């Protein structure tokens, strides 16, 4: 009888272990926050005192924008401040403006995506933006389905050119404020499995 009790106790412990939430991921490197501009990105350029030059621009598939008086300007692969520097130089060298004061605000990084798959309402690739978190990305896909294993969400992150790391994250712990939300980087993949009954 004593032996049977030990077997039952061990089985119960295994069951509890399977359903417990994942702890904070220890092997996940910090995100690389790339803000380089790419095709389909949307930003607003303001030139102080020049309404004709203040517009929203979407980067074309060839990596350019159609800027007034300058025609096509190559911006793909540049940081936002580098785009400003290029425009200032071209406007000055073309004698269009003597000392242009330019600001640029990126509205959407459509060239950078986070993939959300599995047990969410609308699995999809969503546009990444600086400061995006795991909970943000899942929310943009309509949140979990009823059968989602919200305590064991897999985050796959590329590190360097050829290495990937998988980490298990408990969104339950994040929403209950017992763990921090996870900042994302472009090309992260979030995979949500269904609960095993």
Specify whether the CB–CB gap between 60 and 39 falls below 8 A: yes
> What stretch of H or E contains 149?
strand 148-159
Give the pLDDT confidence score for residue 161 in this predicted structure.
78
Q: Where are the domains of the chain?
A: 42-108
CA distances (Å), origin 118, targets 136, 153, 192, 194: 16, 10, 5, 8
Overall average pLDDT of the 38-67 stretch: 96
CATH number of 42-108: 3.30.1950.10
Q: Tens digits of per-residue pLDDT, 123-180? A: 999 999 999 999 999 999 999 999 999 999 999 999 887 899 999 999 999 999 999 9
The pLDDT-based confidence of 22 (bands split at 50, 70, 90) is low
Inform me whether the pLDDT recorded for 6 exceeds 90.
no
Question: If you average pLDDT over residues 15-44, what whole number do you get?
Answer: 78
pLDDT, position 16: 38
Measured CA to CA, the distance from residue 189 to residue 113 in angstroms comes to 9
Query: Residue 5 in contact with residue 13, Cβ under 8 Å?
Result: no
CA of 74: how far to CAs of 46, 81, 87, in Å? 18, 14, 10
Q: What is the 3-state secondary structure (H, E, C) of 65-112?
A: EEECCCEEEECCCCCHHHHHHHHHHHHHHCCCCCCCCEEEEEEEEEEE
Work out the average pLDDT over 86-91.
96
Q: Which residue has the tokens 């400061």?
A: 131
Mean pLDDT lowest for which of 30-34, 115-119, 130-134?
30-34
Q: Which residue has the higher pLDDT, 99 or 21?
A: 99
Does pLDDT of 46 surpass 50?
A: yes
Lowest mean pLDDT among 26-35, 41-50, 147-156: 26-35
In angstroms, the CA 45 to CA 56 distance is 6
């Amino acid at each position: 009888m004593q032996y049977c009790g030990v077997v039952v106790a061990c089985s119960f412990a295994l069951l509890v272990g399977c359903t417990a939430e994942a702890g904070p991921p220890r092997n996940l490197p910090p995100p690389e926050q790339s803000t380089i501009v790419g095709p389909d990105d949307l930003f607003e350029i303001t030139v102080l005192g020049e309404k004709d030059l203040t517009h929203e621009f979407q980067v074309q598939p060839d990596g350019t924008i159609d800027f007034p008086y300058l025609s096509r300007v190559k911006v793909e692969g540049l940081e936002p401040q580098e785009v400003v520097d290029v425009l200032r130089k071209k406007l000055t060298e073309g004698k269009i403006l003597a000392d242009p004061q330019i600001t640029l605000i990126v509205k959407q990084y459509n060239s950078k995506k986070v993939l959300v798959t599995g047990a969410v309402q609308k699995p999809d690739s969503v546009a990444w933006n600086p400061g995006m978190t795991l909970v943000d990305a899942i929310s943009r896909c309509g949140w979990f389905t009823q059968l989602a294993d919200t305590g064991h969400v897999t985050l796959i992150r590329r590190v360097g050119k050829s290495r990937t790391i998988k980490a298990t994250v408990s969104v339950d712990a994040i929403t209950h404020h017992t763990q921090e939300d996870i900042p994302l980087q472009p090309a992260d993949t979030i995979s949500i499995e269904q609960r095993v009954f």
